[in-house]
Copies of this chain bind each other. A is one copy, B any other.
Amino acid sequence: MTEQRMPTSLELVRWIGWAQRKAGEDWIREREISHEQAFVLGYLVQNPGTIQRDIAAVSRTSAASVTSLLKGLEQRGLVERRAAPDNARVKRVHATPAGAELVAGFPDAMAALDDTILAPLDTAERATLQQLLTKIVAELPQPTRD
């Protein structure tokens, strides 16, 4: 009812992130998989043998979360965790064929989602946005270690 101040860019980012999660819910629910699990599984298809520590870094979550997240995926036969021959501390995680099949459409679904949410922008504007966001992300403190 009253006039509000202009939202900051970070608030806008927050809202868009929320909308993204909301819009992806159907795809996620159909496969009885959590959003993070789908993300991780998709990442593993592209990067087989990633160790859990790095999965945590990529998905911006904690090592504890990765443990329980993979536990669910492993029980459903969607991933395998194999001991590394050269380093007994780590476990290398691979997506199984069933896992790969489950998330086969994930990148496309994400791209379509991207397209839907960015619909108000034309091609040039999208390119600009991409460029600006990339510039910001490049300077963010990175959770990865190399």
Q: Which residues of A contact B (CB under 8 A)?
A: 2, 4, 7-20, 22, 46-47, 60, 110-111, 113-114, 117-121, 125-126, 128-130, 132-141
Contacts and interface: CB of A to CB of B under 8 A. Distances in A.
Contacts of A46: 4
Interface of A is mostly: helix
A133 B2 contact: no
Given A9-B118, A17-B17, A120-B135, 14 more contacts: A2-B47, A8-B110, A9-B129, A10-B117, A12-B137, A13-B13, A15-B140, A18-B60, A19-B140, A117-B136, A117-B140, A121-B136, A125-B132, A128-B132
22 contacts: A7-B134, A7-B137, A8-B111, A9-B114, A9-B133, A10-B16, A10-B17, A11-B110, A12-B130, A12-B133, A12-B137, A14-B17, A14-B60, A15-B60, A15-B140, A16-B136, A16-B140, A22-B141, A120-B135, A121-B135, A128-B132, A132-B132
